[in-house]
Structure 1
Amino acid sequence: MKAFKALLAVLAAASLAGCASATTGPPAAGSTAVTASQSPKASESSARQQILFDPCKSLPREVVMKAGYDPNNLEPSDFDGGSYKFLVCDLSSDMYSLGISSGNISVTEQQAQQKRDSPTKVVTPITVAGRSGFEARDPSRPNMCTLAFQASYGEVLLTRYQREKATDAGLDVCDGMQQTAVTIAAALPVGRRAPA
């Protein structure tokens, strides 16, 4: 999952750099990842909201199992970009690995970055349980599917990588992603902070 975390850092930083104004500037190049054992912090920018959902701490076991992943094998982390933050949970199954990132950047920012990220990337608007979002596929990375949907504080970003077993079975990496997103969206809290 190191590749996923590196991709998340690049996508998030580039997303905000592309939307940065002359007064705020892009995120610092030295942005670092910290462990999820630290309490979630409010973003340093008053324009960003507090993240209300920490996927590794907030997702019930039955939701993780319904999505097809092992609830005993969750890897928490977080990414602090200074003016924005992601709380990350990596899950795995025989067929896929899934990164769930809960962040205080908007779906619009993320969608714009996906389009800038690769000229061949196909970004399709979708709705997840009444929430606006998108699904992104990059022909140059056929084993990866990205999906994001709106949350009250920003977005939930799902990045799934297909394992060899799923490829050998002829499965499409994005098959079932929208249903996984609906399952996760149903577990989002309303009006409270993520657990410390």
Structure 2
Amino acid sequence: MIAMASACGPAPATVVDDSDSTTVAPTSTRTPRIVDDSGRPDITFDPCLDLPDEVMSAAGYDAAHKEFADMPMGSYTFLGCSYKGTIHIPGVLARYGLIVMAGNASLEEEFKKNGDVATPTTVNGRPALLEVGTNGNDECTYVLQTDFGIVLFNRLYHKDHTGPVPPSEWCFGLEDFIGTVEPLLGN
């Protein structure tokens, strides 16, 4: 068994190679960068620190230029990380922006807020929502439930052509990526 730690921040995720398959183990708990006085749970997953750069790069996102995108709101908080990326789809070059946000709001609150565009689903057995077009066209969001609240993966398709992007392409390949990183979220 070979273990490698990522070089991004304290208490990084660990990649474990069992010779037959590679799995990504969840990170250890750390003190969150931002806390609020809401009485809600502390956020124990930090997208910029807990998503290994090599995993994000392999998925087509520019981990070398990720940016913190935090949102302390008083009654709840979100720790965020934004990525630019290019994912190649046969015959089409698709450019995407990805924002990953971990917050201490609940899945039920998120459904109440965006229920008109949200569909309940699961990712690797974890309760989740799929939100298509939350803030407009060309956008796809997966919201996964955690012990502290939720983690949102919001991807925006930046079209490089005139005319609309078919809604079937807004979420293309995103579910596979989410399934790969879901174990990193912990419980």
With the length of structure 2 as denominator, give the TM-score of the two structures: 0.70
Q: Which residue of 2 aligns with 1:108?
A: 108
**One-letter identity of the residue aligned with 1:182:** G
Q: Specify which of 114, 118, 123 is matched with residue 118 of structure 2.
A: 123
Amino acid paired to 1:56: C
Q: Secondary structure at the match of 2:65?
A: coil
Q: Secondary structure at the match of 2:177?
A: helix
Paired residue for 2:141, among 129, 138, 146? 146
Identity of aligned residues (%): 33
Separation (CA, whole Å) in 2 of partners of 1:184 and 1:132: 15
| Structure 2 CA distance for aligned equivalents of residues 139 and 188 of structure 1 | 23
Q: Distance in 2 between matches of 1:140 and 1:106?
A: 19
Aligned length: 146
Question: Which amino acid in 2 is paired with 1:172?
Answer: E
Aligned to 2:35: 42
1:129 & 1:53 partners in 2: Cα distance?
Answer: 18
**Counterpart of 2:171?**
174
Residue in structure 1 matching 2:129, options 120, 131, 134: 134
> Is the counterpart of residue 74 in structure 1 residue 73 in structure 2?
no
Q: After the TM superposition, which residues 2-13 of structure 1 pair with which residues of structure 2 at under 5 Å, given as runs?
A: none
Gaps (5+ residues) in structure 1? 1-38, 116-120, 191-196
Structure of higher RCO (CA pairs closer than 8 Å, 6+ residues apart): 1
Q: Cα gap change, 1:62/1:175 in structure 2, threshold over 3 Å: closer, same or farther?
A: same
Matched-pair contact (CA < 8 Å) for 1:84–1:103: yes
Over 3 Å counting, the alpha-carbon distance change for 1:71 and 1:131 in structure 2 is same
| Range with greater deviation from structure 2 (180-189 or 49-58) | 180-189
Greater mean alpha carbon deviation, residues 100-109 or residues 61-70: 61-70
Distance 1:126 1:65, change over 3 A: same
**1:68 corresponds to which letter in structure 2?**
G
- Give the whole-Å Cα distance in 2 for the aligned partners of 1:136 and 1:174: 10
CA distance in 2, matches of 1:78, 1:114: 21
Cα distance change, pair 166–51 in 1 and its aligned pair in 2 (3 A): farther
Distance 1:153 1:65 in 2: 27
RMSD after superposition = 2.3
Structure with more helix by fraction = 1
Q: 2:70, 2:80 within 8 Å by CA — same for their partners in 1? A: yes
Alpha-carbon deviation of 1:188? 2.1
Cα deviation digits, residues 112-154 of structure 1 (max 9, x gap)? 1012xxxxx4321110122101111239822111210111110
Runs in 1 of length 4+ with deviation above 6 angstroms? 166-171
What is aligned with 2:54?
A: 62
Q: Give, as a single letter, the amino acid of the residue that structure 2 aligns with 1:77.
A: A
Q: Distance in 1 between matches of 2:161 and 2:99?
A: 17
Q: TM-score, normalised by structure 1?
A: 0.67
Deviations along 1:46-85, one digit per CA (max 9) or x if unpaired, are 2x10000111111111221233211111011210111210
